[in-house]
Amino acid sequence: QVQLVQSGAEVKKPGASVKVSCKASGYTFTSYYMHWVRQAPGQGLEWMGIINPSGDSTSYAQKFQGRVTMTRDTSTTTVYMELSSLRSEDTAVYYCAKDRGTFAIDYWGQGTLVTVSS
């Protein structure tokens, strides 16, 4: 069965960077794009970007351009999302989420809480 297992919660200071990992299993890793979506406390879903695990191409939401980097390691079937220059507004649960191949998300990781606080 498809599983997306994310790294644990993080606490960071403003200005720092955070790197969240997402290990995929149960399907052919390179056949499906992976999204990153975040949700601030009490707020809605926010799409951050997408990576093609096959060719490493990425597309980021304009809001995060220059601050986010998504990468993958095919040998470990893991994708990574790094967000830099953190500010308090970046406090959120970050999800990796598998695209089903028709521009929709069919599986989600368990979420990683990133807290930015001085």
**DSSP designation for 63:** G
Residue 88 phi, psi dihedral angles, 5° rounding: -60, -30
Nearest approach, Cβ of 116 to other proteins (angstroms)?
20
The candidate with the shortest Cα–Cα distance to 38, out of 93, 80, 91, is 93
**The two structure tokens encoding residue 22:** 């997402």
Inter-residue contact 70 to 88 (CB < 8 Å): no
Number of residues that bind other proteins (CB under 8 A): 24
Site string for other proteins, 57-96 (x = CB under 8 A): --xxxxx-------------------------------x-
Nearest approach, Cβ of 96 to other proteins (angstroms)?
10
Burial per residue of 57-94, b for 16 or more beta-carbon CB atoms within 10 angstroms, e otherwise:
ebebeeebeebbbbebeeeebbbbbebeebeeebbbbb
Q: Is 108 in the site for other proteins (CB under 8 A)?
A: yes
Nearest approach, Cβ of 36 to other proteins (angstroms)?
11
Question: 24 or 75: whose CB is closer to other proteins?
Answer: 24
Q: Is 35 in the site for other proteins (CB under 8 A)?
A: yes
Chain residues binding other proteins by CB under 8 A are 35, 37, 44-47, 49-50, 59-63, 95, 100, 102-106, 108-111
